[in-house]
Amino acid sequence: MTPQHTPHLLHSFASPLGPLWLSASDQGLSGLWFGEQRHLPDFNDAQRFQRGEHRYMHAAMTQLNPYFAGEMTAEDFSFGKALPLDLNQGTEFQQSVWQALLRIPMGGSTSYGAIAEQINKPAAVRAVGAAVGRNPIGILVPCHRVLGKDGSLTGYAGGLEKKIELLRLEGVLI
């Protein structure tokens, strides 16, 4: 007998950078995507998603509003701490990369190579880049804070212009 899979609830959110999609499970917030970003899941997959609202989505939205208004400090930034995150949809390797992203402080940045070193896979820089690109919880699991080795702005699944805006909002770029 196949175990029942509970679909993640899905809700849209209007942000200053464009529409966002949030998803949640009983374990935590499980997704946050820009409406037109690469690697979007199939929201019409009824086995995986149902339209609705969840307390974790509301918790995320109450933090996203002051974040986008530039009113959130690093001390206030509690994504992944006070707000549970469900990062179980990735491989073990991807999950290790996503956990490393959570350690990048607001206003800070790192490189793909530094993350590869941090997770004890120094030769896996490209694989780290692929895992960063597949991060299911953008902004809150701050993949936008990952730069090239030389500090250059590299790709972002949500679009490079959004990455620039997020880094400006956090004071990384002026």
Phi-psi sector, 57: left (phi>0), alpha (psi -120 to 50), beta:
alpha
Write down the catalytic residue from 143, 147, 167, 169: 143
Active site residue 160: no
Cα separation of 11 and 23, whole Å? Answer: 6
Q: What are the angstrom distances between the C-alpha of 20 and each of 12, 58, 152, 165, 167?
A: 6, 13, 26, 15, 18
Compute how many other C-beta atoms are within 10 angstroms of the C-beta atom of residue 67: 21
Q: What does the block give as tokens for 14? A: 């209007």
Q: Residues 130-144, buried b or exposed e (16+ Cβ, 10 A)?
A: ebbbbbbbbbbbbbb
Q: What angle do CA 116, 122, 126 make, to 5 degrees?
A: 60
Residue with tokens 């350690």: 103
Cα separation of 20 and 75, whole Å? Answer: 24
Active-site positions? 143
